[in-house]
A and B are shown apart, each in its own frame.
Chain A
Amino acid sequence: MLCRKLLGRCALRKGEVTLQNVRTAAHFTYLPQTPNPALGDTTKLNMFQSINNAMDIAMEKDSSAVLFGEDVAFGGVFRCSLGLQDKYGSARVFNTPLTEQGIIGFGIGVAAAGTTAIAEIQFADYIFPGFDQLVNEAAKYRYRSGNEYNCGGLTVRAPWGAVGHGALYHSQSPEAFFAHCPGLKVVIPRGPTQAKGLLLSCIRDQNPCIFFEPKILYRIAAEEVPVTDYTIPLSQAEVLREGSDVTMIGWGTVVHVLLEVAQMAHDELGVSCEVIDLQTIMPYDSETIEKSVKKTGKAMVVHEAPLTQGFGAELAARLQEECFLHLEAPIQRVTGWDTPFPYIYEPFYLPDKWRCFDTVKKLVDYM
């Protein structure tokens, strides 16, 4: 089985993976990462637990912080808020009526008053009633008032991305809509360790942040996560696997597909791929990806969201501007098709390992 083949070859990687607890999902394998020893003791957490832990830490250290949204009181539909109402009380952890425009507008107000607001939207697919509040209000709150006011204490969290059977309205990746709006930050973790550190950064960051949580990873991504209060800086990409031939850029779930493809490329083509997790979509770490593409000369950006006007378009534009003379092939994008996210056709829709592998071949064979 491919899973076992990969485990056998894991020793070739930079010591980032363990052989324990590998969970294979529909189209990728989650390989738990080895925790940073400098962060001390760890405990095994999956991604909804690590998010729960981040919010617990945030609310303990910041006595103003409130968490609200639909169904968060009993623990949330994905259990991210389990136990938090019991611990912090119903004045700080509470259900709202069913209204996304209300939740986000209300959250802006909470933050404007100086209270840290963690607003949960039940699925990223349902964030759109709040689009006006996010784009016209949250993003511009500081700018339009000459910095007299701000809603930096607002963090909006939402489950995001393909889950195997989500279809049109439980699978969307809407990061591109928000990356297009100056004033917002958009952050997407690839697993439990990043989720905790990045979410704590978002909550403490003094700008309205949107934190998209890859829902397919909530349960199946589990690893040893440091128990301490730690943050991962925003606007910093991470190179997960060094390579010299092809730069692969992704975020969230797709990072795990890319890691698998990088190994396939090594084993079957003798091609060395560099895999980069962008982590913060906006403002993004251009320096890291430019440095990589200048080294390899061949780049591919991969995302589940549809091709046209997806965030890959921005990265491709930037990379060709900054790395033009280093490029040996056009920058490739491997993405969802320009259609709504279809139910029974999901295996044919996703930018899976075969489409990514074929793109690696296309890049190296270009000249």
Chain B
Amino acid sequence: MTNFGEEATQIGSARALKFKDVVFPQYREAGVFLWRGYTPLECMHQCFGTSKDFGKGKQMPVHYTGAKVNIQAVSSPLGTQIPQAAGYAYALKQRDRDACAVCYFGEGAASEGDCHSAMNMAATLDCPIMFFCRNNGYAISTATKDQYRGDGIASRGIGYGIPAIRFDGNDLFAVYNATKAARKLCVEEQRPVVLEAMTYRVGHHSTSDDSTAYRSVDEVKHWDTVDTPINRIRNYLTGRAWWDETQEKEFRSNARGEILRGFKEAENTKLPNPLLIFDEVWDELPVQLQAQKDELIKHCMKYGENYPLQNHEEMK
């Protein structure tokens, strides 16, 4: 899953947070992870499911878990993270009145019942949570006109008694300033805020999607060339002679090198010990599950040649 077109929503908002603000992601916030210090190599270990993945190869690609960066694990079901973030925010009140929870979600996920519950609870229970909606125009093939008929997501805040702000999600500074202002309100008054970043999903929903089936190439092209966060910030910087083509070339070359090296390294890293399947279902391994683990060990001793054991760390 890619993040093309939504870079400003991620970097601008991440920059305005404090590290101690817990982040509950959906799955299109890789920039928030990277901003806080998750490395491209760590991303790749997760995508390849290697033994160096913090999540130990349990989840599908881009489902990062980020304790190192105070970001909760990505999970596929939509909207489930929203009430969780409200609860976490409530618990934060006991610990740190200078921190908040930030929950990212798309305008599609905002249609889930969980979103309604979360906003209403956050309002009635005074939870210091920022509801950050990336309104990127599409939920797979479903355009916003079929997702809602009201005035986007920001207007819903009013219905719950939650202050709301809508801004240009492709303007890096607008995202930063809006998030900064919202955070101040959220933390100082210990109450929720709704933020709606208007942006556009340039890429397909995922590698399983071909968006030419439901939107025009011209529409995508506009958002990939004219109103794109990277071009806009680049124009701003080059206009002030703070950036130029030489620096751009060098940066791209270095980044490409880093990515390709990371790719190669992750590709050549062993996958985890297969017995980790049984770990961490509960905090401790129940007797029945130990028996199943033993069964797999015995099975692989007999039939191991039929399994990709050579790709994994030793089974022990």
Residues from chain A with Cβ under 8 Å of B50 in the complex = 344
A340 to B57, CA, bound (A): 12
CB of A71 closer than 8 Å to a CB of B: yes
CB of B11 closer than 8 Å to a CB of A: no
CB of B249 closer than 8 Å to a CB of A: no
Check B278–A339 contact: CB distance below 8 A.
Answer: yes
Chain B contacts with A in 68-127, Cβ cutoff 8 A:
75-79, 108-109, 111-114
A345 to B53, CA, bound (A): 13
Central interface residue in A73, A166, A342, A358, by most chain B CB within 10 Å: A342
Residues from chain A with Cβ under 8 Å of B59 in the complex = 167-168, 343
Residues from chain B with Cβ under 8 Å of A99 in the complex = 111-113
Query: With A97-B148, A338-B281 known to touch, is A125 a contact of B113 (CB < 8 Å)?
Result: no
With CB as the reference atom, state the residue of chain A lying closest to B305.
A354
CB of A102 closer than 8 Å to a CB of B: yes
* Min distance, Cβ B2 to any Cβ of chain A, angstroms: 17
Chain B contacts with A in 221-267, Cβ cutoff 8 A:
none
> Of A168, A345, A347, A358, which one neighbours B302 at CB under 8 angstroms?
A358
> Of B76, B276, B278, which one neighbours A170 at CB under 8 angstroms?
B76
A169 to B75, CA, bound (A): 8
CB of B25 closer than 8 Å to a CB of A: no
CB of A337 closer than 8 Å to a CB of B: yes
Q: Which one of B13-21, B139-147, B195-203 is at the A interface?
A: B139-147
CB of A39 closer than 8 Å to a CB of B: no
CB of A106 closer than 8 Å to a CB of B: no
Query: With A339-B281, A354-B303 known to touch, is A345 a contact of B276 (CB < 8 Å)?
Result: yes
Query: With A98-B111, A170-B76, A354-B306 known to touch, is A345 a contact of B60 (CB < 8 Å)?
Result: no
Chain A contacts with B in 97-115, Cβ cutoff 8 A:
97-102
A77 to B208, CA, bound (A): 8
* Min distance, Cβ A28 to any Cβ of chain B, angstroms: 13
Chain A contacts with B in 120-142, Cβ cutoff 8 A:
125-126, 128-129
Residues from chain B with Cβ under 8 Å of A167 in the complex = 58-60, 63
CB of A327 closer than 8 Å to a CB of B: no
Check B112–A342 contact: CB distance below 8 A.
Answer: no
Chain A contacts with B in 136-175, Cβ cutoff 8 A:
165-170
Residues from chain B with Cβ under 8 Å of A323 in the complex = none
A79 to B22, CA, bound (A): 39
Q: Which one of B162-170, B180-188, B288-296 is at the A interface?
A: B288-296
Check B111–A337 contact: CB distance below 8 A.
Answer: no
Count contacts on A: residues with CB < 8 A to the other chain.
39
A98 to B77, CA, bound (A): 11
Residues from chain A with Cβ under 8 Å of B306 in the complex = 354
Check B278–A98 contact: CB distance below 8 A.
Answer: no
* Min distance, Cβ B149 to any Cβ of chain A, angstroms: 10
* Min distance, Cβ B263 to any Cβ of chain A, angstroms: 17
| Contact code string B34-51 (vs A, CB < 8 Å = 1, else 0) | 000000000000000110
With CB as the reference atom, state the residue of chain A lying closest to B110.
A98
Check B63–A97 contact: CB distance below 8 A.
Answer: no
Residues from chain B with Cβ under 8 Å of A338 in the complex = 281, 288-289, 292
Check A125–B281 contact: CB distance below 8 A.
Answer: no
| Contact code string A257-298 (vs B, CB < 8 Å = 1, else 0) | 000000000000000000000000000000000000000000
A342 to B58, CA, bound (A): 5
* Min distance, Cβ B286 to any Cβ of chain A, angstroms: 8
A160 to B135, CA, bound (A): 30
Residues from chain A with Cβ under 8 Å of B109 in the complex = 98
Check B77–A73 contact: CB distance below 8 A.
Answer: no
> Of A70, A101, A342, A355, which one neighbours B277 at CB under 8 angstroms?
A342
Check B277–A339 contact: CB distance below 8 A.
Answer: yes
Check B113–A101 contact: CB distance below 8 A.
Answer: yes
With CB as the reference atom, state the residue of chain A lying closest to B315.
A348
Check B111–A97 contact: CB distance below 8 A.
Answer: yes
Residues from chain B with Cβ under 8 Å of A340 in the complex = 58, 281
With CB as the reference atom, state the residue of chain B lying closest to A132.
B113
Residues from chain B with Cβ under 8 Å of A358 in the complex = 299, 302-303
CB of B274 closer than 8 Å to a CB of A: yes
| Contact code string B277-288 (vs A, CB < 8 Å = 1, else 0) | 110010000001
CB of B5 closer than 8 Å to a CB of A: no
A347 to B310, CA, bound (A): 13
Check A354–B299 contact: CB distance below 8 A.
Answer: yes
* Min distance, Cβ A165 to any Cβ of chain B, angstroms: 7
CB of B308 closer than 8 Å to a CB of A: yes
Check B108–A73 contact: CB distance below 8 A.
Answer: no
A349 to B277, CA, bound (A): 8
Check B60–A71 contact: CB distance below 8 A.
Answer: no
Residues from chain B with Cβ under 8 Å of A102 in the complex = 111, 113
> Of B77, B78, B141, which one neighbours A74 at CB under 8 angstroms?
B141
CB of A95 closer than 8 Å to a CB of B: yes
A-B CB contact pairs (8 Å), 10 listed = A73-B146, A98-B79, A98-B108, A167-B59, A169-B77, A338-B289, A347-B308, A348-B274, A348-B277, A358-B303
Q: 16 additional contacts, CB 8 Å, given A169-B60, A307-B292, A348-B307?
A: A77-B209, A98-B111, A98-B147, A99-B111, A168-B75, A170-B76, A338-B288, A338-B292, A339-B289, A343-B49, A344-B272, A347-B307, A348-B277, A348-B296, A354-B306, A358-B303
B: residues with CB less than 8 A from A are: 49-50, 57-60, 63, 75-79, 108-109, 111-114, 139-142, 146-148, 208-209, 213-214, 271-272, 274, 276-278, 281, 288-289, 292, 296, 299-300, 302-303, 306-308
Closest 7 pairs between A and B when the two form their complex, measured CB to CB: A344-B49, A169-B76, A344-B57, A97-B111, A167-B60, A98-B111, A98-B108
